[in-house]
Each structure stands twice: as structure tokens, then as C-alpha cells.
Chains A and B, each alone.
Chain A
Amino acid sequence: MSKAFFIDTTVCTACRGCQVACKQWHDLPAEETENRGSNQNPEDLSFITYKLIRWNEKEIDGKLRWLFFPDQCRHCLEPPCRDTAGEPSAIYTDKATGAVIYTANTKGLNVNEIIESCPYNIPRASKDGILAKCDMCIDRVQNGLLPACVKTCPTGAMNFGSRQEMLDLAEKRLKEVQAKFPQATLLDPGMVRVIYLVAFDPMDYHDFAVASGYSRGITRQMALRKMASPITRMMRALG
């Protein structure tokens, strides 16, 4: 059954349990880090960091608001990275769950173009040109477990289930939250499998919180490859 996350940032305390549980399950090493004057740590996602709580302090309506944004791959319904790569052995969508999966075959592809194509600025390359990002803990999900980040979340900010359940939960929470924060909104619920609920302007949380937030345009070449991709795939399937 098609899966989705619902991330309720209004109850996130930025404990970073999800960030560490992700590293723990994937056996990823720690980042070299330094004090940059923010509690956000590390500074950004990387080849070895798939999940990151972004911290922002904003003054909204005369009040200091501490905004937490547990950033991760949105597992788009129609992922631009997959279509830009055009190589199903490198980037594909898992049929059962909808998870967008990267493999070691991303090596040798034009990784910068793939990174550029992501509206949420998620994929990161290793030094030798392999791409990595959140894999929805596909091994756990296929075996009936929750993704590590959801399992560990102490506040209920991270939720996981069938896409319909998550959409229903998101709508229900949105109504509750809007009573206190009229600006509250769901981020791109029709396009992604990771649905965020934020209480204020998404741009206050993160430049790439919503797909429309950051538009650099795409190249003609990328658009053409995108349109042609079903044909390319068909040709490949025919051998």
C-alpha cells in the first residue's frame, strides 16, 4: 500500500532523536562539526546525513518563535530526480510503498543535474560521485516496522502509515492547529509522500520547505529528457 509520512512541526521539540536514529539504523558515521552560533547541527544534509532538524529563530508578530523543521526527502509522487536521472537501476520508485530509492548506480550519472532538479534540495553526492538520501527505511517498512525516525519520535511529530491515513491525520491536525495559528498550512500535500504541517510561513522554516519556494528554472535539456523519459524507459524495457 502506498505510504506517506505526516510531520507535525508544531509538536516537534527538536530533540533530534529522528536525526540520530536515522544515523544509527543506517550505520552512518558522525559529521565533523563546529560551533556556528546555531543549535542546528550539522550545518546541512550530506552523503552521510539523510535527516536534519533545521533550526530557525524568527520574530513573528512581535514574538520570538523557534521554528524546527525535520528536513528529509519528500519521496515525491512524480520525482524530478528520478526522471532527470532516467536510469531505473540508479533511481527508482518502489512500487509497494512509493519510496524513491537511490542505488550505487547513481555513480557516473550527472549528479549535479540530479541535485539541481530536486525542488527540496535533498540529494547529496559523495566524493566519488554516488548520490544518497533518505530511503524511507525501506528495509524496515518492507518488514512491517516503522522508519527509524518515526519509531523513535517521543512527541508524535513524526507519523507514518498509508498515504490516505496520513492525509486524513494531516487535515485533522491542520484544523486543530489553525484554531491557534490561522497561518498554519500543509506543505505540498498533493505532490509528496512527506506532508509537513507548519504554523507559520513555510519560508520562515526553510528556503526549500515548499517546491515553489525556490525556483531557478530548469534547462531545456532537462525538460526534453523528462518528456522523453517514458519513451526511453519503454525502449530499455524492450531491450
Chain B
Amino acid sequence: MNVSRREFIQITGATAAGLAVSGVGFDLSPVKSHAQMLKTVYAKETITICPYCAVGCGAIVHTDKSGAGRAINIEGDPDHVINRGALCSKGAALKQLVENKNRLLEPMYRAPNSKEWKPVSWDWALEEIAKRVKATRDATFEAKNAKGQTVNRTTAIASVGSAALDNEECWILQAMMRALGLVYIEHQARI
């Protein structure tokens, strides 16, 4: 017996129809499915803006009300004027900014010419960054340009990022960079 899949489906249909006509007087379906509970039913809802690109889609973050308050779901905000609930693949993966076993949980340092990254303390990392920024800035700071105009800048440091910062965090970052005199300030969302 060689039946194509389409015919196969049709056979099933015919069998089901036959049953209906023959009028078996009781429910043959033993499966009683109950409405399932949403995993977000007891979650706290917080709205946020997707940090990934310049479109600025709105999203709802569901966090666990009990226990550690971890994110359990992030999806598009249907009330947001820009995306009305939609999110692209990057936005749909937002939860992984916080819930991902591959995330780095401590600062990593690779010394010049070394092939190895090693974990370091936040105190050490921040102090080292501050020291190096100050040294480079002091060495390259220009108060005035060749025409004598006040510029107060350094062109030896650039800031790139960060794609995981939201709008307000980005504002603080660029304000600090401008205060240092940086002119090369870039963000992934502009690209």
C-alpha cells in the first residue's frame, strides 16, 4: 500500500467524518486540558527601552517578585508608540543581557603582549583605568588649537559603546567623556 502524505491526511479526515456521522454518543477524547498558567502571572512588570539600535523599541521586563528578582521574560511593549509590541531578533534576545551563563561577572585584564585574560578586582581595574586615562589625557591635552581658539580636548582617547547601555546611561557616559575632553565618542546604536 503506497499512499501519499496528502492522501494520508485525507484518509484521516474521512475517518473522522465517518465517526461524526455514525454518531458515537460520547466524547472520545480522554484528554482534558486546562488553561495553563503563564510563567509571568506573578511577575513584576517594568518598562524599558531596547539599547541595541537607534529605533528605540519599548519592552516589558518581567521579573520574579519572590526570591532573587531575576528577569524571567522580556518582550515587546504593545503600548509603546514606536514598536507596538514588536521586537527584532536582537530585541527578542534582550533577556540574555542579564540571564546568560556566558556573561562575564568580573572585570578581565590582558596585560600588554600577553595571550591570557585574567580576572581582576573592580578596585584594581577602576584605579588602573583612572591612572591611564589621566596619564594619557595630561600628556595630550590641548587647551587651544593652532588658530588660538579654545578647544580643551584630547584626541588620544576614544570612547566606543556601549550597546548594552540604555538611553540614560549613555547620556551619563557621554557627559563624562566630554568633560574629559574627548571628541571621538561613538555608539553602536548610531551605526
Partner-B contacts on A (CB < 8 A): 15-17, 19-21, 24-25, 76-78, 80, 83, 88-89, 92, 94-95, 101, 117, 119, 138-140, 142-143, 145, 148, 151-154, 191, 211-212, 214-220, 223, 226-227, 229-230, 233-234, 236-237
Contacts and interface: CB of A to CB of B under 8 A. Distances in A.
Contact of B19 (A92, A142, A230, A236): A230
A83 to B, nearest CB: 6
B64 interface: no
B37 interface: yes
A143 B35 contact: yes
Interface string B32-75: 01011111010000000000000000000000000000000111
A119 B7 CA distance: 11
A154 B87 contact: yes
Contacts of A218: 1-3, 5, 8
A119 B8 contact: yes
Given A88-B29, A226-B15, A215 B83 contact: no
Contact of B28 (A89, A216, A234): A234
B27 interface: yes
B89 interface: yes
Interface of B: 1-6, 8-9, 11-13, 15-16, 19, 24, 26-31, 33, 35-39, 41, 73-76, 78, 83, 85-93, 95
Given A17-B87, A78-B13, A217 B4 contact: yes
A230 B15 contact: yes
A119 B75 contact: no
Given A17-B87, A101-B33, A234-B24, A139 B38 contact: yes
Given A17-B88, A152-B92, A227-B11, 18 more contacts: A17-B91, A25-B73, A25-B75, A80-B9, A88-B29, A92-B33, A117-B8, A142-B35, A143-B38, A143-B41, A145-B38, A152-B91, A211-B5, A211-B6, A217-B4, A223-B8, A230-B19, A236-B30
